[in-house]
Amino acid sequence: MSVTILGIESSCDDTAAAIVRDGILLSNVIADQEVHRKYGGVVPELASRAHQQNIIPVVDQAIKEAGVRQEDISGLAFTRGPGLLGSLLVGTSFAKGFSMALGIPLLEVNHLQAHILVHFLQKEGEAKETISFPFLSLLVSGGHTQLVIVKDYNQMETIGKTIDDAAGEAFDKCAKVIGLPYPGGPMVDRYAASGNPEAFRFNKPRIVGLDYSFSGLKTSFLYFLRDRLKEDEDFIAKNRDDLCASIQKTIVDILVEKLEMACRQTGIREIALAGGVSANSGLRNRMLELGNKNGWNVFIPEPRLTTDNAAMIAITGFFKYLSGEFASLDITPLARLPV
């Protein structure tokens, strides 16, 4: 008998719902929230209100696009955390109510594990190479930057993480300094394509071991610009593409240096990129180059599955359903939740 999972994601500023049947993605709907743009970052209170407005239409659309009936749904997967508590509460409460109404099990999903497990999603009629355990994942998003050994669907170990800002935050903060709107990461990527990555050099952090640090980079970028702007007030406008290309190269250099170290230490050669920053073309290209150079088997999610989505929640819920890991109705969301 088929297993059909409805996934719901509401951890930050995207309200998303998706249907996965037997590991195959049938629909994937995302409503992003324009309301935060003018504030230069996500405003938690506004995010929860927008989730309240979006959640029913988004779920309805996901079910319709998948062509399934409500009574075909076997289980309901939702993001328990980590994320903004008010946002998580909307998804959690909706998931509880809907699972009770349909009389189906509730499946709690860790958002970070879900970013990684997105690699197991299949598409109708597509036979794709699947990743095998154990693999090493570089999980890079707006809130997290970690190196994770993935031993099984629900067995993951973090071996390195950022001690301050996440890589996505570094992209967004540097973008803000040069006047780009939030979230700046995708725009830096776009302008970087026409810039020279060697035009400017920024200091890289010296952190021992597998941990990361990005807060110093943002500060040195800020001071660098302050000095240049004293000499030429149009410096940013004249050098936008080169600035984007150089900052992107620096962030990618920092990310892959530790990844190579982790591969040497663990001997793992199956490498999976995950999280919003894995949409970055500089990082994607570098991963492919490193794959060839080091003999790694590199897995990169398709761009629409890198940033927050509910397809990743549904596929994670699918594995939980198969192993009978059901959540009880008194479950509460958690703002902090490790991999």
Map the footprint of ligand KG4 across residues 279-308, applying CB under 6 A. 279-280, 307-308
Q: Is 186 in the site for ligand KG4 (CB under 6 A)?
A: yes
Out of 81, 86, 91, 168, point to the residue binding ligand KG4 (CB under 6 A). Answer: 168
Out of 75, 81, 143, 317, point to the residue binding ligand KG4 (CB under 6 A). Answer: 143
The interface partner of residue 277, options being Zn ion, ligand KG4, none and the CB cut-off 5 to 8 Å by kind, is: ligand KG4
**If 0-12 CB within 10 Å is exposed, 13-18 middle and 19+ buried, where does residue 179 land?**
exposed
Which among 54, 58, 108 is positioned nearest to 83, based on CA atoms?
A: 108
**Residues binding ligand KG4: number (CB under 6 A):** 18
* Residue nearer to ligand KG4 on the CB measure, 11 or 27: 11
Q: Is 13 in the site for Zn ion (CB under 5 A)?
A: no
Map the footprint of Zn ion across residues 301-320, applying CB under 5 A. 308
Q: Is 171 in the site for ligand KG4 (CB under 6 A)?
A: yes
- Encoded one letter per residue, x for contact with ligand KG4 by CB under 6 A and - for no contact, window 4-33 reads --------x---------------------
User: At closest approach, how far in Å is the CB of 2 from ligand KG4?
Assistant: 29
β pairing state of 24-32 and 155-161: unpaired
Out of 48, 137, 141, 239, point to the residue binding ligand KG4 (CB under 6 A). Answer: 141
The closest residue (CB) to ligand KG4 is 276
Q: State whether the Cα torsion 266-269-273-274 is positive or negative.
A: negative
Q: State whether the Cα torsion 277-280-284-287 is positive or negative.
A: negative
Q: Is 277 in the site for ligand KG4 (CB under 6 A)?
A: yes
Cα dist from 142 to 52, 112, 209, 226, whole Å: 23, 12, 22, 25
3-state secondary structure of 25: strand
CB atoms within 10 A of CB 118: 24
Element housing 271 (H / E): strand 270-274
Contact residues: Zn ion, CB under 5 A: 141, 308
